[in-house]
Homo-oligomer: A and B are copies of this chain.
Amino acid sequence: MRIALDAMGGDHAPGEAVKGAVEGARENGVEVVLVGPTAVVRAELDKYAPIGPHLTVVEAPEMVRMDEAPAMAVRQKKNSSLAVGMKLLKTGEASAFISAGNSGAVMAAALLILGLQEGVERPALATVFPTSGGPALFLDVGANTDCKPPFLLQFARMGNTYMQKVFSIASPRIGLVSNGEEETKGNQLVRETHVLLKASGLNFVGNVEGKDLARGVADVVVTDGFTGNVMIKVTEGVHEMLRAVLEQEAARGPHMALAISLFRPLLQTVAKRLDYTQYGGAPLLGVKGNVIIGHGRSDARAFKSALRMAKRMVEQEGKASLMAPVLDREATDTSGFTAHSP
Which chain B positions have C-beta within 8 A of A258? 262
Q: Does A43 contact B (CB under 8 A)?
A: no
Structural contact, B265 and A146, CB atoms closer than 8 A: no
Query: Residues 225-256 of chain A: 1 if any B CB is under 8 Å from the residue's CB, otherwise 0?
Result: 11101111111111011101110010000011
Contact of A230 among B231, B246, B259, B274 (CB under 8 A): B231
Q: Which residue of B227, B255, B274 contacts A238 across the interface (Cβ within 8 Å)?
A: B274
Kindly supply a per-residue 1/0 record for chain A positions 174-218, scoring 1 wherever the CB is within 8 Å of any chain B CB and 0 otherwise. Answer: 000111100001111010000000000000000001111111000
Q: Cβ of A71 < 8 Å from any Cβ of B?
A: no
Q: How far is the CA of A240 from the CA of B235 in the complex (A)?
A: 13
**In the complex with contacts A211-B240, A266-B249, A273-B241, A229-B179 CB distance below 8 A:** yes
User: Is A269 engaged at the interface, CB distance under 8 Å to the other chain?
Assistant: yes
User: Which residues of the other chain, B, contact A188 by a CB distance below 8 angstroms?
Assistant: 145-146
Most chain B CB within a 10 A radius of its CB, from A185, A186, A238, A262: A238
Distance between A75 CB and nearest chain B CB, rounded to angstroms:
18
Interface check A338, CB cutoff 8 A: no
Question: Is the C-beta of A132 less than 8 angstroms from some C-beta in chain B?
Answer: yes
A323 within 8 Å of B by Cβ?
no
| Contact-residue bracket for chain A | 35 or more
A185 neighbours in B (Cβ, 8 Å) = 145
> Is A179 touching B233 in the complex (CB atoms < 8 A)?
yes
Q: Which residue of B lies closest to A179 (CB)?
A: B229
Alpha-carbon distance between A122 and B238 when the two chains are bound, in angstroms:
30
> Are B209 and A230 closer than 8 Å at their CB atoms?
yes
A246: chain B residues at CB < 8 Å are: 266
- From 150 to 194 in chain A, residues with beta carbon under 8 angstroms from any chain B beta carbon are 177-180, 185-188, 190
A233 and B259 alpha carbons, distance in the complex (Å): 30
- CB-defined contacts of A226 to chain B, threshold 8 Å: 179, 186-187, 190, 227
**Given the complex of chains A and B, what is the CA–CA distance between A274 and B132 in angstroms?**
21
The answer for the CA separation of A238 and B232 in the assembled complex, in Å, is 11
Nearest-CB residue, chain B, relative to A249: B266
* Contacts A249-B266, A265-B249, A266-B249 given; does A214 touch B230 at CB 8 Å: no
Instruction: State whether B266 touches A256 (Cβ < 8 A).
Output: yes
User: Chain B: which residue is nearest A255 at the CB level?
Assistant: B262
CA A335 to CA B237, docked complex, whole Å: 36
| Contact of B145 with A179 in the complex, beta carbons under 8 Å | yes
Q: Are A244's CB and B213's CB within 8 A?
A: no
User: What are the 10 A-B residue pairs with the smallest beta carbon separation, nearest first?
Assistant: A211-B237, A210-B234, A259-B262, A210-B233, A179-B229, A145-B187, A187-B226, A214-B241, A211-B236, A211-B233
Chain A interface (Cβ within 8 Å of chain B)?
132, 142, 145-146, 177-180, 185-188, 190, 209-215, 224-227, 229-238, 240-242, 244-246, 249, 255-256, 258-260, 262-263, 265-266, 269-270, 273-274
